[in-house]
Amino acid sequence: MTKVVFPLNPYGFTTSAFLIGLILVQELSSEEQDSIGNWLQLVGLTMQTFASQKVTLEAIHTTEQDTDQNKYEILQKAIQRMEEEIKKWNKENKNAKKYK
């Protein structure tokens, strides 16, 4: 189904839904049309709600990962600066000992 439906451009996708709707209503009473229409809307809203929540949770997870990555990078930079300061301090102490 995904290979048939999703490659359609927006016009073809919308037109196919329109044509399917016209075919379905031809032999249905108004009550049946209303019932099936409501059912299809519920299916669509359920799928939309599910997808929306999934995107929201993925965004939260991505933000948390970005935050963790940023914290890691900040710590790495701090460690590098400390290592550079230690090397500099050791070098200065060695030079100071030579001149004593």
Residues in the chain: 100
pLDDT at 30: 94
Q: How high is the mean pLDDT of the chain? A: 86
How many CA atoms lie within 13 Å of 99's alpha carbon, on the beta-carbon side?
Answer: 5
Residues 6+ apart with CB under 8 A from 24: 33, 36
Whether residue 66 is predicted with pLDDT greater than 80 in this model: the reply is no
> For residue 53, what is the DSSP state?
H
The domain containing residue 9 runs over which residues?
2-98
Answering whether pTM is above 0.75, one says no
CA distances from 79 to 17, 24, 82, 90 (A): 59, 68, 5, 16
pLDDT at 67: 77
Q: How many domains does the chain have?
A: 1
Question: Averaged over 46-55, what is the pLDDT?
Answer: 93
Question: Averaged over 28-43, what is the pLDDT?
Answer: 94
Question: Averaged over 53-62, what is the pLDDT?
Answer: 87
